């Protein structure tokens, strides 16, 4: 594909136009003075609300979890909700009191489900007090849902090494690593879909490691 060539479009004379003014800036391109329009980037999504979740402290497990009956958190858009949930960010911060011999993963994996969830839910903070209450949920138990796992969204590694001073290094891992200024990133969850956060690999007995999760979810029409 050839490189773009500077050009312009000539408009009608605006000397007598009394309508609204559009903000521009002029620039000389070759032999021509052209006007460049200012643009305000905005999302194409019609936002109903943005919600910030910070569930309770989680413990790394000695036994592996399967994501369908055992796991840490189920982010789920109820069947018939009428909205789309956009998973904008997952940030896991790990710490512990001693070294461990294993390096288990914590996965964020898409799923579909049937049934009506009834497990305990996490109360979010709203971006604005007056925004709609969330129609989606983050559950701490899979109760009421029959879950079918799909593709992995993100993998997190639980750190295992303590420093020379004997202090476990605080470690935060964030998905996605970069943010789209137009807010076109994130995983869109239709009704009946979700993302589960679970540990598919075994840890150690009496595992000394812990983590907190901070999750941002947007709901759109």
CA-derived radius of gyration, the chain: 24
Its pTM stands at 0.82
Question: What is the C-alpha separation between 49 and 216, in angstroms, rounded?
Answer: 11
Question: What is the C-alpha separation between 5 and 111, in angstroms, rounded?
Answer: 47
Return the pLDDT at 37. 85
DSSP-based three-state secondary structure for 215: strand
Question: What is the C-alpha separation between 119 and 141, in angstroms, rounded?
Answer: 5
Q: pLDDT of 53-68, one tens digit each?
A: 999 999 999 999 999 9
Return the pLDDT at 4. 78
- What is the bridge-based pairing of β-strands 24-29 and 105-115? unpaired
- What is the bridge-based pairing of β-strands 32-37 and 193-198? unpaired
The list of the chain residues with pLDDT below 70 reads 1-2, 42-43, 163-168, 181-183
Pick the CATH number of 47-220 from 1.10.3470, 3.90.25, 1.10.540, 2.60.120: 2.60.120
Q: pLDDT of 140-185, one tens digit each?
A: 999 999 999 999 999 999 998 776 666 667 789 999 988 776 667 7
């Amino acid at each position: 594909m050839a490189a773009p060539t500077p050009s312009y479009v000539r408009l009608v004379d605006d000397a007598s136009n009394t309508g609204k003014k559009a903000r521009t800036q002029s620039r000389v391109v070759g032999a021509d003075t052209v006007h460049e329009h200012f643009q305000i980037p905005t999302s194409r999504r019609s936002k109903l609300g943005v919600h910030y979740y910070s569930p309770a402290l989680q413990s790394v497990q000695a036994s592996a979890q399967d994501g369908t009956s055992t796991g840490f958190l189920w982010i789920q858009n109820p069947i018939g909700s009428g909205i789309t949930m956009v998973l904008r960010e997952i940030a896991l911060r790990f710490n512990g009191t001693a070294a461990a011999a294993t390096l288990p993963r914590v996965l964020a994996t898409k799923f579909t489900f049937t049934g009506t969830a009834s497990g305990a839910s996490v109360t979010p903070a709203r971006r604005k007090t007056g925004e709609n209450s969330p129609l989606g949920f983050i559950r701490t138990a899979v109760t009421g849902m029959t879950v079918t796992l799909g593709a992995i969204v993100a993998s997190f590694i639980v750190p295992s090494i303590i420093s020379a001073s004997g202090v476990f290094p605080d470690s935060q891992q964030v998905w996605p690593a970069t943010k789209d200024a137009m807010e076109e990133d994130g995983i869109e969850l239709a009704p009946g879909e979700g993302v589960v956060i679970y540990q598919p690999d075994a840890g150690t007995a009496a595992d000394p490691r812990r983590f907190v999760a901070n999750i941002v979810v947007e709901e759109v029409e």
